[in-house]
Amino acid sequence: MAKWDIGWLPYWNRGICTEALRLVVDYCFTVKDFDTLWGDFFVDNPASGRVMEKCDFQDTGRELYCEHLYGGSERLVRVLKLNNYCKNKMEKQIVIRPACEQDYEFILKTNLDNVEVLSPMNADRLKFLATMTEQFLVAEVDGQSAAFLMALREGADRYDSENYRWFSAKYDSFLYVDRIVIAEPYRHLGIGTRLYQAVFDHAKELHIPFVTCEVDTLPYNEISLNFHKKMGFREVGTQYVHLNGVTVSLQEARVNEECIMNNEQ
């Protein structure tokens, strides 16, 4: 075995390459807004192919030589393709509905799986938050729970969130997205956009001028920041959150300009 291989041995078979590729895919689809990704691997290195297949790349059946690759003139590569998670096809199968107690197991598990970017939530905390939510939504894909969103209006004085209290001190009327969480297998399907649109529509119906939220900036969450920018959010403040030990960008989206103008006059 070549010497340069030995240093990698302790890190093989730990899913590191798969996780790295998933981050690249997420960046390409969410930040760069690509429609399709292409990849290939040497046919005598099937492990690389398995990494791509775990990230949902589909085998095109094509094999060819790639002279631009080192050794590519003598070794065949197999070509794979990944569309943007069939967004258009899947959109018809996404259903947004109110959450119910039967969803709580899914909600707690999904929150735990993403707790590094969320505040923790156990069963008691979930029930407590549910009593204050203006909107508590679940997204389903093909009948399977895929995501959830919790949003609160002004006046939820019992809520101890530092970010919610920041908005409460500065806004008379707002709809605050406390958390939106999409389970890993269902990302890149446009679910986040659909959930936010449901929030915007609800705010417009009730003549609520602002939808508010926060996004981590330390650690820096570029994907979320770009997504919220596309949804029309803008930064209106920053603060350090002691509970999570993170710095956040506090953001608003203006969804009822007429209400805002009336308030400002």
pTM value is 0.68
Neighbours of 13 (CB within 10 A): 8
Confidence of residue 70 (pLDDT cuts 50, 70, 90): confident
Strand ranges of the sheet holding 175-182, from the earlier edge strand across to the other edge: 94-98, 135-141, 144-153, 175-182, 210-218, 246-254, 234-241
Round to whole Å and give the CA distance between 249 and 255. 19
Confirm if 64 and 79 have CB atoms less than 8 A apart: yes
How far apart are the C-alpha atoms of 80 and 143, rounded to whole Å? 29
The pLDDT value recorded for residue 262 is 54
> Is 70 exceeded by the pLDDT of residue 9?
no
Looking only at the bridges linking them, the beta strands covering 175-182 and 210-218 are: parallel
Mean pLDDT of 248-253: 97
